[in-house]
Copies of this chain bind each other. A is one copy, B any other.
Amino acid sequence: MSDIFVGIDLGATNIKFGIFDDELNLLSKGSVPTAADMGAEVVVEKIGQTIEELLSEVQKNPDDITTIGMGSPGPALYRKGIIVKAVNLPKFSNTPIAKLVSSRLGSKPIIFENDANTACFGEYTLGAGKGAKDMVFFTLGTGIGGAIIHDGKLVQGCDENGGELGHMIVFPGGRLCNCGQHGCVEAYASATTTAKRATEAIEAGAISSLKNTLDEKGEITSKDIYEHLEQGDSLAKEITEKTAEALGLVCVNMLHATEPEEIVFSGGMIAAGDVLLSRIKHYFNKYVWNIKEEKTEICFATLGEDSGIIGAAALAKELAGKPD
């Protein structure tokens, strides 16, 4: 009986798997570490084996799969199912991963999607965005990923780069971003750039309790910043304010673009908790118009690391309901 949906989250550190029933209940899950020496054949075999094991745990086998969903970071040609390059998988180059995985599991239908999109679709289906029709999603990690859902569908864009919200410009002429633009929200508010701004400030002579951390560990993380913020460090406060200001501004701009019911933030940075969320809302309220009261809610994701596998499986279920 074909009543199983498989969600795969092909990450830079781990490949995660979830086996779901047709109501998206998680039956079993697992992960394997991503290793730099893995070629496509090894990865596909590991994916196949792990899924078979997870299926057998719940007395199922690949024949029971209706559709497979898989999320992966770019650059990729998602509609064609091809990974152009993969962080931490240097042997991957124009690898037709979707076709290979599908073949390994009995030529089951597969949907291949950007990993920010799958995580967003997970939160939309079962997490912070549940019940909303329109949603905007940010992941605050090494970079800032983004995704938009309009009327229940992911906004994919004319060249598969819709929802690259980390590269919306909030401070024109501002900090240089890895993408070559100046003033992107990613240049201020990712976990990496938040920490980097603190490091730069200390190196430029700012007084901060974070200086000891930098001297001892040789680096500062966004977690350090929130810890020192709790202890009242003024630089930690200044850095967090700018992070929140950049995020508040991008929320105002997305309000005026697609006017979502929910703007959901996810990723390691949300561990900071209310100290960050309340400041994002503060800057949203500071910058937003006063014409009307807004219904858009700004909140944190609720599914944690499972959002990717849940979203991939939920997309697989969506696909299964559609004609070719």
Residues of chain A touching chain B, judged by Cβ–Cβ distance below 8 Å, are 132-134, 146, 148, 150-151, 153, 155-159, 161-172, 177, 179-182, 249, 252-254, 256-261, 287-292, 294-296
Q: How far apart sit A156 and B260, CA to CA, in the bound complex (Å)? A: 9
Q: How far apart sit A254 and B148, CA to CA, in the bound complex (Å)? A: 12
A178 to chain B, nearest CB (A): 9
| B292 A161 Cβ-Cβ under 8 A | yes
Q: How far apart sit A287 and B158, CA to CA, in the bound complex (Å)? A: 20
Main secondary structure on chain A at its contact with chain B? loop
CB-CB under 8 A from A179, the residues of chain B are 289-291
Q: How far apart sit A294 and B180, CA to CA, in the bound complex (Å)? A: 14
| Known contacts A163-B257, A168-B253, A168-B256; A296/B181 CB under 8 A | no
| Known contacts A148-B258, A258-B157; A172/B249 CB under 8 A | yes
| A291 B170 Cβ-Cβ under 8 A | no
| A289 B168 Cβ-Cβ under 8 A | no
Q: How far apart sit A151 and B153, CA to CA, in the bound complex (Å)? A: 9
| B295 A257 Cβ-Cβ under 8 A | no
| A254 B252 Cβ-Cβ under 8 A | no
Q: How far apart sit A249 and B172, CA to CA, in the bound complex (Å)? A: 8
CB-CB under 8 A from A153, the residues of chain B are 150-151
From B151, B180, B253, B260, give the contact of A253 (CB < 8 A).
Answer: B253
| B253 A169 Cβ-Cβ under 8 A | yes
| B256 A165 Cβ-Cβ under 8 A | yes
| Known contacts A171-B172, A287-B169, A289-B179; A159/B254 CB under 8 A | no
| B256 A258 Cβ-Cβ under 8 A | no
| A162 B249 Cβ-Cβ under 8 A | no
| A252 B169 Cβ-Cβ under 8 A | yes
From B134, B161, B252, give the contact of A259 (CB < 8 A).
Answer: B161
From B156, B168, B290, B294, give the contact of A257 (CB < 8 A).
Answer: B168
A170 to chain B, nearest CB (A): 7
| B254 A167 Cβ-Cβ under 8 A | no
| B170 A157 Cβ-Cβ under 8 A | no
| A164 B253 Cβ-Cβ under 8 A | no
CB-CB under 8 A from A163, the residues of chain B are 256-259
Q: How far apart sit A172 and B247, CA to CA, in the bound complex (Å)? A: 13
CB-CB under 8 A from A162, the residues of chain B are 134, 257-259
List 17 A-B pairs, Cβ < 8 Å: A134-B157, A150-B151, A150-B155, A155-B257, A163-B259, A164-B256, A165-B257, A167-B289, A169-B252, A171-B172, A172-B249, A179-B289, A181-B287, A254-B257, A257-B257, A257-B258, A258-B258
From B165, B172, B254, B288, give the contact of A287 (CB < 8 A).
Answer: B172
Q: How far apart sit A114 and B128, CA to CA, in the bound complex (Å)? A: 30
CB-CB under 8 A from A132, the residues of chain B are 158
Q: A155-B257, A155-B259 are in contact. List 12 more A-B contacts (CB 8 A).
A: A150-B150, A163-B258, A169-B249, A169-B287, A170-B172, A179-B289, A179-B291, A180-B291, A181-B288, A253-B253, A254-B257, A257-B258
